[in-house]
A and B are shown apart, each in its own frame.
Chain A
């Protein structure tokens, strides 16, 4: 299509129909395939600030106590506080976003190569505390887990649809506070399932350890399924 402007200069329309995020998604897919090949289940943890991601990872490492090899990449705006908290429990690399509100693939890829070993069973990526931006970024994970703490209110799923829609598991955290806050686990899970019907809901308390065994078992099942899928595909 051409159009005459000011009698002389002409304009052409260049049609591209190209997804702006396609290049990054391609890179994420390559990482996912590499992790699948290595038998590593990669988990991207999303939540609002302070919902308990680092506490859950501490509790997970304590529960497994070395039986399941796990490593962690932890994203933060500026500090390495979470990495310091996790260091006694598991190999961890801090990803400092320099103010960005979410992790992107290139930073994750760099962190992955900085880990002491490329051999483990579980790789956790703790995203920056934010329920909006991280939802749009595929980091190559197999499993996206959204943490919703009982102090945030059970009406949050409908307010952050993208984060819930793109997750496969919902962890309700800080269940020790249930007697003190108006929060219904059933209502939160039902609201979330209206957005994502396949969401697996797991209530957990990192403080008392309640539900941690179930959460770890769910992760082990997911990894078994990943390995089984791998054999199917190659055989």
Chain B
């Protein structure tokens, strides 16, 4: 299971950015997991729950949004890819381009502000 090493990298990213922004506690971390990202949402959650206690993100919550796999046909436009068959369902064109669903992305996180920190 390689989710562990990827989630470790995710945690490092959040911690680094949270420190840079004052180091206050992080409450929520949001990620997008594509259907063809190569990581399993359930295993990402499991790795997060195992790795965060004892880290700077202890007590934070992970929110996962699963992104469906979509491809674009030059003639017919964007379609949802069924069963990983990338052929365009309208015209049979096999040279389609994936537009979403390959990402494992850190979208955002919520961090407590310091007393007196200006609000945006």
Residue contact B110 to A13, C-beta cutoff 8 Å? yes
With A11-B27, A11-B111, A15-B108: A20-B85 Cβ-Cβ less than 8 Å? no
Verify if A197 is at the interface (C-beta below 8 Å from B).
Answer: yes
CB distance from A91 to the nearest CB of B (A): 28
CB within 8 Å: A-B pair count: 108
Docked pose: A3 CA to B112 CA in angstroms = 10
Stretch at the interface among B35-43, B51-59, B72-80: B35-43
| B38 contact from A10, A13, A100, A133, Cβ within 8 A | A133
- For chain A, the bracket of interface size reads 35 or more
Interface of A is mostly: mixed
Verify if B50 is at the interface (C-beta below 8 Å from A).
Answer: no
Docked pose: A14 CA to B27 CA in angstroms = 11
Residue contact A16 to B106, C-beta cutoff 8 Å? yes
Residue contact B37 to A136, C-beta cutoff 8 Å? yes
Verify if A126 is at the interface (C-beta below 8 Å from B).
Answer: no
Verify if A180 is at the interface (C-beta below 8 Å from B).
Answer: no
Residue contact B36 to A11, C-beta cutoff 8 Å? no
Contact pattern, B 95-107, Cβ under 8 Å of A = 1, otherwise 0: 1000000011111
Contact pattern, A 175-210, Cβ under 8 Å of B = 1, otherwise 0: 000000000000000000111110000000000000
Contact pattern, B 22-44, Cβ under 8 Å of A = 1, otherwise 0: 00000100010000111100000
Verify if B62 is at the interface (C-beta below 8 Å from A).
Answer: no
CB distance from B59 to the nearest CB of A (A): 14
Interface residues of B in 1-25 (CB under 8 A from A): 1-2, 5-6, 9-10, 13, 17-18, 21
Verify if A19 is at the interface (C-beta below 8 Å from B).
Answer: yes
Verify if A17 is at the interface (C-beta below 8 Å from B).
Answer: yes
Give chain B residues whose Cβ lies under 8 Å from the Cβ of A104: 5
Instruction: Name, among A13, A17, A20, the residue most crowded by chain B CB atoms within 10 Å (CB to CB).
Output: A20
Residue contact B6 to A12, C-beta cutoff 8 Å? no
Chosen A-B contacts, 15 in total, with CB atoms closer than 8 Å, are A9-B112, A11-B27, A11-B112, A12-B113, A12-B117, A13-B110, A15-B107, A16-B109, A19-B105, A132-B38, A158-B83, A158-B85, A162-B38, A165-B86, A194-B94
- 16 new A-B contacts, CB < 8 A, other than A15-B107, A194-B85, A195-B85, are A2-B113, A10-B119, A12-B111, A12-B119, A14-B17, A14-B110, A20-B9, A101-B1, A133-B2, A136-B2, A136-B37, A137-B2, A158-B85, A161-B36, A161-B84, A195-B84
Report the 7 A-B pairs with minimum CB-CB distance, sorted nearest first. Answer: A136-B38, A161-B84, A133-B2, A197-B94, A15-B108, A10-B113, A194-B85
